[in-house]
Every structure is written in structure tokens, then in C-alpha cells.
Amino acid sequence: MESELKDLNSKPPNGSSSRDDRPLLKSESLASADSIAEMEKKFAAYVRRDIYGTMGRGELPPKEKLLLGFALVTLLPIRVLLAVTVLLFYYLICRVCTLFYAPNREDEQEDYAHMSGWRRAVIVSCGRALSRVMLFIFGFYWITESNSASQEDKQQPEESDRPGVIISNHVSYLDILYHMSSSFPSFVAKRSVARLPLVGLISKCLGCVYVQRESKSSDFKGVSAIVTDRIREAHQNESAPLMMLFPEGTTTNGEFLLPFKTGGFLAKAPVLPVILRYHYQRFSPAWDSISGVRHVIFLLCQFVNFIEVIRLPVYHPSQQEMDDPKLYANNVRRLMASEGNLTLSDIGLAEKRTYHAALNGNNSLPSVLHQKDE
């Protein structure tokens, strides 16, 4: 599931935007890209660099074809069966724990994030354990976790070191499974997720905040307030669930860090930066320019997958950063890029759509994106 989150900042009431959301690369520049190499340089953050090639449709060497064919008839069905079993099992656990319990309802949001007692304990403990089991089924047998090199040298302030939100780079839908297994936080998700079979109830037990991707500015103002309140509550109350945000707003190939949206920094609370890196030899687990179905199939056909997690110290904002959420977001982003050896990129979701349109032979999308502010 690609978390293409919009900025949680509310827009002016008249619907006009104070910033230019149009892609940095205009349709004319796309048309002038007379070679794939030139286009891939412009959209480097979304280019696949594994042997499966662009969109996962590259010509495979004979050895890889044999490995893929063998995995398709042996490994794939076994993993699919196990994954569905785990999903159904956890759904039943959530169903039992939410029986005769009224969910929290606020501003068209519905969740069980503030459930307490044995119900919450069972949901969290089983959710973390089964998320790790799911990663194991997907081939992530070992997860390398480490602290930042500066973790031990950084002198922590005397104030509470509990963050209000986890800030992570976004590479794949697998990011969600890792964070569920690690801290079981609440996410921001598309409103349609709440209506999905099985997954819908699980997302409510996670305490997800739902947002309509193409909703009006008034709806975003409500969502922004909810997220900000949840972040502040998580910072001040140890029993409250942490929030988890992907401020880039979309996934990359894992080598770049896109500009951060400021929604997670409006609460002025400390943040916990976490960097995820997926190492590979054959197929990259990054969900960038490949369809969801094709990605899941190739991922499940790979015998072993690798993930490295780098945890940075809790970042406490200065007074200047608290007064300027954009500065706060940019400073955290630069720190994560430095510690994770990631390249800063100034493109975003609009450029990703432009790149996908070009890959699919549709050059009309860039001009459509330019018209949205008119």
C-alpha cells in the first residue's frame, strides 16, 4: 500500500494554494528527453536499478528466469497461503477484542486507538508479533537494527525523551509492517482503507487517521488538527499510541530523500527519525515504478530479502524550529539524509506521476497537472 500522503497543513479557505504544487519538470522538458538515460536522470528517485529493470519488465538473464520459474510454482503459493492465514488470524483477534466495544468517533474518524486494558494489550502484542511473522514469510528472516553513529555522543536534554511521532523515509508498503512489528504506531491512511475487508478493522485497531486524498481544504484542516492533537497526546501520555508519518508523501527507490511535508511538525513535539534501507542482489523491495501486483509476486518469489534499520536520537526542536515547522522539517530531513547516506532530491509526487505517465506512453498527464491551479 503506497502512502502518498498529502501535506496535513490546511489550505486557505478559498481553496487557493500559497505554494506552487506543479511539477518542477514541465511537459516540454519531458518531451525533450530524447533518451531513457536522460529521463532517468531527471526522475532518479523513482528509477529501479535491479536486474528486473524499469517497471519490473526488463529482460532477465537465463539464470534468473529459472529461479523465478521455480519460485513461482513452489515458494509463491506457500507464502501466499501463510500470509493469508496470518492476516485472517489477526483479523479474528481484532474482531474478538472489539466485540461489544464502541469505537472512538471524531470528525468522520473511527478507531480503537484509545482502547485500554486487556483488549489493547492483546491487539498490540499480537499485532507486533504477527507483523514480524509476516515479514519472515516475505523472506525478511533477519532485520539489522542499529543506532545512529551519533546516538551515544549526543547529550539528551533533561526534558522527557518520549517523541510524539516517528518520522521515517518511505520505500515500500513493507515499511508499515516493520513499524507495526517495532512500535505498533498509528498511521495516516486513505479513507478507502477503512472500508477494505479484513484490513479495514485492523487499521482501526491501529488507530489510523483517515484522509481523503482529493478532499476539500476544510477536510484537511480537520485531519491536520486531529494529527496534531494525537502527536501532542502521544508525547505527553505514555499510554497513548505514537503517530507514524512518512513526510515524503510517496515512495522512492530507497536511495533518495524527498522534501518533507510539514504536517508532522506542527505539534512542536520531539520526533523520532527512523531510516529504512532495503539491500538486494536481484529484486529491489522498493515500490517505485512497478505495479503493486507485479511487485508482490516478484517479492514473494525472492528467497531472501534484507532490511536495515537506523534509529536516530529523539530530535528535540529549538524555539526557532517550533516557530517555523518548515525549518523543523528541513533540519530533520537533512539529518536523516546525512545519517542514512541518502541523496536529497527536490522532486515529489507530481514528478512521480509524470514519470509513470511517460513510462506508460501517456504524455498528457504533465499538462493536466499544470492545469490544477487554474
Per-residue pLDDT, averaged over 149-153, amounts to 54
Give the three-class secondary structure for 319: helix
Q: Determine the pLDDT at residue 219.
A: 55
Chain segment 237-293, per-residue pLDDT in tens: 888 889 999 999 999 999 999 999 999 999 999 999 999 999 998 999 999 889 899
How far lies 216's CA from each of 6, 109, 125, 211, 219, in Å?
Answer: 12, 16, 37, 10, 6
Q: How far apart (Å, rounded) are the C-alpha atoms in residues 32 and 42? A: 12
Sorted by sequence, the CB contacts under 8 Å of residue 86 that are 6+ apart come out as 130, 133, 134, 137
Mean pLDDT of the chain: 83
Enter the C-alpha cell of residue 130. 504477527
Contact 305, 139 (CB under 8 A): yes
pTM (2 d.p.): 0.83
CA 178, chain centre distance (Å): 11
CA 149 to centroid of chain Cα atoms: 24
Q: Which pLDDT score is estimated for 279?
A: 93
How many angstroms separate the first and last alpha carbons of the chain? Answer: 31
Can you give the pLDDT at residue 35? 59
Residue 348 has pLDDT above 50, yes or no: yes
Which pLDDT belongs to residue 173? 94
CA quadruple 190, 195, 200, 203: dihedral sign? positive
Residue ranges with strand state E in 116-192: 143-147, 165-168, 186-190
Asked if 330 contacts 260 with a C-beta cutoff of 8 angstroms, the reply is yes
12 or 349: whose pLDDT is higher? Answer: 349
- H-run or E-run covering 143: strand 143-147
Mean pLDDT of 122-142: 97
The partner residues of 256 in beta bridges, in order of sequence, read 343
Residue 195 is given by DSSP the state G
Contact 125/133 with Cβ under 8 angstroms?
no
pLDDT, residue 31, reads 41
For every residue of 286-328, DSSP letters joined together read --SSS-HHHHHHHHHTSS---EEEEEPPPBPPPHHHHH-HHHH
Query: What digits encode the pLDDT tens for the residues 77-129?
Result: 999 999 999 999 999 999 999 998 888 777 667 888 878 899 999 999 999 99
Q: CA angle, 55 as apex, 333 and 244 as ends, to 5°?
A: 30
